[in-house]
Structure 1
């Protein structure tokens, strides 16, 4: 495991978006002792399978799993995540998440949402999604959104049960928490990311929601 490397991992099906994503990463401030690398997985059957493939290809201790349409705009990003990861209890960091989920499994509608990210959910418009107050350095959450998921430990993604592009993030959040790690959303004095997602493909959303509920919610109720 290379303690001085940060790997940026992306499932790619739009080369133009991915090049823009890399443009922002290449303009980050990088500590002298840190190397960065890119791992792109193309023609993946699911995000979970893509992320497992990429995880196994890289020896970096720190891995940043991000969508091809996530653009990191805070140039101090690497310094900020490395500072947070000095706490070895923190397993995974995101910029949008929620505390408390009900038996639907949909954290963004039925939990205490803690989010700070620029979003283009309405095509042609960019707006700040900012919910929840973080008084300290971070807040612990139950689930983070998959737009960006930053880890300092390798835990296998559940490609065995999740196909397609939904609920892999909720699943991985639970996998980290089940192993005793904290999943957090940090205080962002300067916003870290833009998520240029536009309209979201909802194919297989409901199928994966039911799988998530069966695997992680019902067993705990």
Structure 2
């Protein structure tokens, strides 16, 4: 049985200095009374999906926060906010901070004309605010970016298809939909996360895009 009072923070780690900053932010979060957090760094793992599946096997936490090592949670009431949403909305399986209401036919969420969310990120080389903040407390979406994916139910990550760092996140969103769970992005009165990734590494990007489209073309 899952522990309904535990939140696990799960990260695939290959840079200890970067992860240390991520961990400092997690440890600074307000933890509601009667809840506990669990820190799960996965090291020396072949890929993200494999790492996240390992974490599912080793943690009994009902709530799991899958985040990149270069994602900084800067909103101190992050835990309280996600718990409030999940408890009030048992049909929501996953939350994110940025994504899209409709996945485009090319599978690339940021090409959507219906982007949703708010974040500070550095994919252009400099930190900047990206703001598609919804006007209502919760916006239902089809996809969220993998910089942070927050769940209250477990669904296996498709390591049979994705052995890299691209499209595993959009795949997981569709797998949640297959299991009849909704995905949502909350309105952020203040930015919840900074994603200081630098310019994106697009190695094998198109390879994984083709894998994604072949598997899910009839579902987007």
Q: Which moved more, 1:133-142 or 1:64-73?
A: 133-142
Going from structure 1 to structure 2, the CA distance change for 1:20 and 1:127 (only over 3 Å counts) comes to same
In structure 1, the residue matched to 2:150 is 150
For residues 16-31 of structure 1, the aligned pairs below 5 Å read 16-31=17-32
Secondary structure of the equivalent of 2:158?
coil
Residues 101 and 111, structure 1, Cα contact 8 Å, conserved in 2: no
In structure 1, the residue matched to 2:69 is 68
Gaps of at least 5 residues in structure 2 are: none
Residues 10 and 64, structure 2, Cα contact 8 Å, conserved in 1: yes
Deviations 1:71-122 (A, max 9, x none): 0000000000000001101100000111222321112113411120011223
Deviation of residue 137 (structure 1)? 1.3
Deviation of residue 32 (structure 1)? 1.7
Going from structure 1 to structure 2, the CA distance change for 1:119 and 1:220 (only over 3 Å counts) comes to closer
1:95 & 1:220 partners in 2: Cα distance?
Answer: 22
In structure 2, the residue matched to 1:115 is 117
Q: TM-score, normalised by structure 2?
A: 0.96
In structure 1, the residue matched to 2:46 is 45
CA RMSD of aligned residues (A): 1.2
Deviation of residue 130 (structure 1)? 0.3
Gaps of at least 5 residues in structure 1 are: none
2:104 & 2:136 partners in 1: Cα distance?
Answer: 26
Runs of 4+ more than 3 Å apart: none
Q: TM-score, normalised by structure 1?
A: 0.95
2:144 & 2:50 partners in 1: Cα distance?
Answer: 19
In structure 2, the residue matched to 1:205 is 205
1:45 & 1:203 partners in 2: Cα distance?
Answer: 16
